[in-house]
Structure 1
Amino acid sequence: MKKHIPNFITLLNLFCGCVAVVFAVMNQLEFAAVFVFLGIFFDFLDGFAARILNVKSEIGVQLDSLADMVTSGVVPGIVMFQLLNMAQKDGWNLDLFGMHSQVGLLPLSGFIITLASAYRLAKFNVDENQVSSFLGLPTPANTLLILSLPLILFYQNNETVSVVILNQWFLIGLTILSAFLLNSRIELFALKFENWSFKDNGIKYLFLIGSLVLLLTMKFLAIPFIVVGYILASIIEKQFLAN
């Protein structure tokens, strides 16, 4: 019975991702973000449960990536589509087989994130070396970065923030950067602890403490800084271990 517990938790991640897709398509991005956060929580919890119960399985690995493809692949692509649609002032509309659509071509570039996420997850599934660390930005971290943008707009908006986030070239640049980071060769630490020693996990502890301080002081605006901090902390840790 216990072997099914992690897979059930993974399915909860997938369910949250499906609900988030519905809200994202309806352009209710704050509700989409809520269910994405829940999905990412279940994504963390299923791996934790598998380790505690010692019931790791190949089907669990595959199911986890399939769930992540929805929650952390499809949803951020739709969110970026909606943001680009909001930012686009002029553009070309789609004309297919004599049918005219109000969907602009530029916003469709947001789905580059979805394509890059799919490729990243496929590589992860066949790479046996990404256990204690990741190559490239994990899809949940990238999703938090993308989902933070509408939350900042809705809850911490000011003229400067709005001008930056709703600039179509900023969003296109972020989309390209996101796709690059997802599939880069940058080695990033996983938040897994073999022991609780500060000597062995100092960088991770400092990162977690710093992230908490940023969240308490900057709220949603902290998320982009946390993702950047995660990348920098990983690079510093690798250099420290190399020496």
Structure 2
Amino acid sequence: MKKHIPNFITLLNLFCGCIATVFAVMNQLEFAAIFVFLGIFFDFLDGFAARILEVKSELGVQLDSLADMVTSGVVPGIVMFQLLNMAQKGGWNLDLFGMHTEVGILPLFGFAITLASAYRLAKFNVDENQVSSFIGLPTPANTLLILSLPLILFYQNNEVLNGIILNQSFLIGLTLLSTYLLNSKIELFALKFENWSFSDNGIKYLFLIGSMVLLLTMKFLAIPIIILLYICASLLVKKS
């Protein structure tokens, strides 16, 4: 019975991703973010449960990637599509099955994140080197980066930040950076704890404490900074 517990948690991740997709399509990005955060929590919890219960399986690995493809692949692509659509001045008219709508060409570029996420997850499944560390930015971390943008827009409401986030060049540049980081050769530490000793996990504890401080002081603006900090800390660990 216990072998099914991690897989059930993974399915909760997928369920949250499905709900987030619906909200993202409806352009209710705040609610999409809530369910993405829940999905990422379950994504962390399923691996933790599998290690504690000692029931790791190949099925669980594949199921985890399929769930991540929705929560951390499809949803951020739709969110970037919506942001680019908001930034775009105009679109082109489309008649489809009798329905008239205005569709932008540029916003479709946001789905490059979805494509890059799919490629990254497929590589992860066949790469035996990504056990204690990651090669390239994990899809959940990339998703947090993308989902932070509408949250900064809606809840921090700073004119300067809003102008940057709704700038087409910025969004295109971030999309390109996102697709690169997902499939880059950068080695990043994984937030997996085999034990709780500080000597073995010092960088992880410091990173988590620093992240909490940033979130408390800077709110959603802290998320892009935390992702940058994660990359920089990983590079420093590799050099040392």
TM-score bucket of the superposed structures, by smaller chain: over 0.9
Partner residue in 2 for 1:48: 48
- 1:113-132: CA deviations, max 9, x gaps? 00000000000000011010
Q: Structure 2 regions of 5+ residues with no counterpart?
A: none
Deviation larger for 126-135 or 83-92:
83-92
The answer to whether residue 58 in structure 2 is matched with residue 68 in structure 1 is no
Q: CA deviation at 1:206?
A: 1.2
Q: CA deviation at 1:173?
A: 0.4
Coordinate RMSD, CA, aligned: 1.6
User: Are the aligned partners of 1:93 and 1:105 in contact in 2 as well (CA < 8 Å)?
Assistant: no
User: Are the aligned partners of 1:80 and 1:146 in contact in 2 as well (CA < 8 Å)?
Assistant: yes
Partner residue in 1 for 2:150: 150
Task: Give me the whole-angstrom Cα distance separating, in 2, the residues matched to 1:96 and 1:70.
Answer: 26
Distance 1:108 1:80, change over 3 A: same
**4+ runs deviating over 3 angstroms:** 90-97
Partner residue in 2 for 1:129: 129
Partner residue in 2 for 1:27: 27
Secondary structure of the 2:89 match is coil
Q: CA deviation at 1:67?
A: 0.2
Supply the AA of the counterpart residue of 1:197. S
User: Are the aligned partners of 1:77 and 1:113 in contact in 2 as well (CA < 8 Å)?
Assistant: yes
1:100-139 equivalent positions in 2, closer than 5 A: 101-139=101-139
Q: Between the two proteins, what is the percent identity of the paired residues? A: 86
User: Are the aligned partners of 2:39 and 2:71 in contact in 1 as well (CA < 8 Å)?
Assistant: yes
Q: How many residues align?
A: 240
Partner residue in 1 for 2:89: 89
1:9-24 equivalent positions in 2, closer than 5 A: 9-24=9-24
Task: Give me the whole-angstrom Cα distance separating, in 2, the residues matched to 1:13 and 1:36.
Answer: 8
Partner residue in 1 for 2:231: 231
Distance 1:59 1:160, change over 3 A: same
Q: CA deviation at 1:100?
A: 6.7
Secondary structure of the 2:131 match is coil
